[in-house]
Amino acid sequence: MKINVFFTPLSVDELFFPGKTTVVIDVLRASSTIVSALQNGAREVVPVSSVEFAVKVSGGMFGGQTLLGGERNTKKIEGFALGNSPLEYTKEIVDGKTIVLYTTNGTRAVVKAKFSENLFVCSFLNLSAVASHLVNLNNNVEILCSGKANNFSMEDTICAGKLVAELQKLNENIEITDSARASLALNKSFGKSIVKMLSESEHGKVLIENNFEEDIKFCGKLNSSDIIPFYTSNVIKVMPISNSIINPDK
């Protein structure tokens, strides 16, 4: 089992992903929001890579049970029902609904990795659940950090490092690339207090300036959810948890 980390989706081409097992991370906030929405009963999340496509999708294929959510540079998009704060995605609002989600970095990363054989969404909230599932699958893993406008994101990399650490705890025979090794070391340096790290990160500071301090506290709750969001047929759904999943190919 070999683990690699991409610090930004720009480093890799769409056609890299066929056959791969991929984990997309966008801690602040898309992957935390996706976990919350599904945890609170959303039927599915449709990640889209443009606002125009979000509007088009929401108008058509999913009838009246659709909510448009997302942000562009931290701010809710005009005409959208929801922003990108996981705290907005409450049971009252999302239960039974299809969420069409557009965000600056996270949903575009998911769409880029759409050809993956297995595609999961990870945040601090569901890190341990994702790790257990990956160890059961026993495939090589590509961890795709959504990054920040094509650049390094501290919080995504620390989350990737914590996921690698968790995988190493569960499986002794894990091989790691240099980027995975760097993520592990960065988790050791900065990952002890997740909320502190998030608050001190560039993206965290922008969120605090925009009054999203509660989001940071929420996104830092390690392993508060068992939800494993997985991508299939263009939507993200909850993976039914089973301890007996064996990949027949390995």
Taking the least distance from each CB to its own copies, the nearer of 11 and 232 is 11
What the block records as the tokens of 233 is 């047929």
Find the shortest distance in angstroms from Cβ 93 to its own copies: 33
CB 86 within 8 A of CB 32: yes
Taking the least distance from each CB to its own copies, the nearer of 136 and 140 is 140
Burial of 12 (0-12, 13-18, 19+ CB in 10 A): middle
Q: What is the DSSP letter of 18?
A: B
Taking the least distance from each CB to its own copies, the nearer of 51 and 206 is 206
What the block records as the tokens of 179 is 């980027």
Find the shortest distance in angstroms from Cβ 159 to its own copies: 13
Bond preceding residue 29 cis, omega within 30 of 0: yes
Find the shortest distance in angstroms from Cβ 149 to its own copies: 9
Taking the least distance from each CB to its own copies, the nearer of 10 and 246 is 10
Find the shortest distance in angstroms from Cβ 126 to its own copies: 24
Q: Rule CB under 8 A: which residues touch its own copies?
A: 5-8, 10-12, 150-154, 157, 177-179, 181-182, 185-186, 188-190, 201-202
Taking the least distance from each CB to its own copies, the nearer of 136 and 199 is 199
User: How far, in Å, are 38, 197, 244 from residue 26 at the CA level?
Assistant: 16, 15, 28
Pairs from 72-80 (Cβ < 8 Å, separation ≥ 24): 72/102, 72/104, 73/104, 74/206, 74/207, 74/210, 74/212, 75/210, 77/51, 77/102, 79/55, 80/54
Find the shortest distance in angstroms from Cβ 3 to its own copies: 14
